Copies of this chain bind each other. A is one copy, B any other.
């Protein structure tokens, strides 16, 4: 049975009891509006640990004022049902006041891997992510925490943060869950009209074609961006090959171990995806 917890104090009592009993604890931090991608993380957490905490917190500090914080889908009752079915033990859903009480004044920032791609397109995004993830991990104190490769750059930022601040937790990356046509599952897919959803299926197809070893990087980036626009996308923020470890920009021929990253807009909806070459 899923137990819903709303305060740091209650969460710590629960996790301390589990640890005292010798149980291994996994955390799955999310912003809710759960889909099969999140549930695949919860199932992986169950394989790797005895107890699973899924957090749901739509973190205001990782949205810029013009972004979709207010519109971001929230459906806690539905999310709780899905988590219960997936075998999650605790839904941790703190309030904004619990996360950012009066006088809050601390931020965590990561340079390097947080700078290109979405770091450029969304300048304050990863600072907000790093700070809230540091908080969530410290609040829960799990043995491991699972993040999806859908947000691959976020995963690298969090790995860096955890190593650099010596957070005593193992970070596990999990493969991107995809729809029948290959579209990466995302809470933001809910924004798409039926027509936009059809156009969206071009994204994983174009990305997969591009993610081929030996292809010329610059020509492929250009061609993929053109194909996205031709398929009906309204704007392309980036299509870039980058090193899979440190996100260094690449040129020449695409090699194994590199990844291709894309962010593109359908109307007001921004979709991101990435694939290994």
Contacts and interface: CB of A to CB of B under 8 A. Distances in A.
A228 interface: no
Contact of A105 (B8, B101, B110): B110
A106 B133 CA distance: 13
A104 to B, nearest CB: 5
A208 interface: no
Interface in A155-209: 160-161, 163-168
Contacts of A110: 105-106
A138 B168 contact: yes
Contacts of A106: 108-111, 130, 160-161, 164-165
A107 interface: yes
A163 to B, nearest CB: 8
Nearest to A115: B105
Contacts of A139: 166
A103 B110 CA distance: 11
A232 B117 CA distance: 57
A141 interface: yes
Contacts of A246: 103
Nearest to A113: B105
A125 to B, nearest CB: 16
Contacts of A113: 105
B138 A104 contact: no
Contacts of A138: 165-168
28 contacts: A101-B163, A103-B160, A103-B246, A104-B164, A105-B111, A105-B112, A105-B113, A105-B114, A105-B164, A106-B108, A106-B109, A106-B110, A106-B111, A106-B160, A106-B161, A107-B108, A107-B109, A108-B108, A109-B109, A131-B165, A134-B165, A135-B164, A135-B166, A138-B165, A138-B166, A138-B167, A138-B168, A141-B168
Interface of A: 8, 12, 101, 103-114, 130-131, 134-135, 138-139, 141, 160-161, 163-168, 246
Q: Which 3 A-B pairs have the closest CB atoms?
A: A106-B164, A138-B166, A105-B112
Given A101-B163, A106-B164, 20 more contacts: A103-B112, A103-B160, A105-B111, A105-B112, A105-B114, A105-B160, A105-B164, A106-B108, A106-B109, A106-B130, A106-B160, A106-B161, A107-B109, A108-B165, A131-B165, A134-B165, A138-B165, A138-B166, A138-B168, A139-B166
